[in-house]
Amino acid sequence: MTVFSLAYTLHVLAALVWVGGMFFAWMILRPAAMAALDGPPRLKLWLNVFQRFFVWVWVAVLILPISGVGLLQLRFNGFETAPRYVQVMMGLYVVMTALFIRIQALKLPELRAAVAAEDWPAGAAALGQIRRLVGVNLLVGLVVVAVASARPMF
């Protein structure tokens, strides 16, 4: 395996884990939890899910730019000569990471505090905000993957 193919594999796997995890959470787990659980156990479930999933999101947040910049150097000899779709990818990476840090640093502590205090209305409000932010990030992530895959168009 060459350095290039190793970087490429890690890059795509990191994108898969992050975007695929958000897809599963939004499209499958969210409606299933709504159908199967009442408010308090649902909030506890989501707190547990986020705490576990976000460890892997941090891994993706680190691997994507490290492997991406490696690919950039190996394939395009640096930032200036990189094609438009790679620049779009980098810009949207910043958007995705900013939204993720907003959830991790602000919204998740709110959810955790509400669950600890058994303040279910506050927990539901925090979960609603996280749901919207994850929904936006999922859309941005899908756009990045589409842009990366349809690169001859960009």
Residues that bind ligand HEM (CB under 6 A): 11-12, 15, 18-19, 64-65, 68-69, 71-72, 75, 86, 89-90, 93, 96, 141, 144-145, 148-149, 151
* Nearer Cβ to ligand HEM (96/114): 96
Q: How far is the CB of 67 from ligand HEM (least distance, A)?
A: 8
Q: How far apart are CA 135 and CA 129, in angstroms?
A: 10
Min separation Cβ 108 and ligand HEM, Å: 20
CB of 64 to ligand HEM, least distance (A): 4
Q: How far apart are CA 65 and CA 61, in angstroms?
A: 7
The 3-class secondary structure across 17-44, one letter per residue, is: HHHHHHHHHHHHHHHHHHHHCCHHHHHH
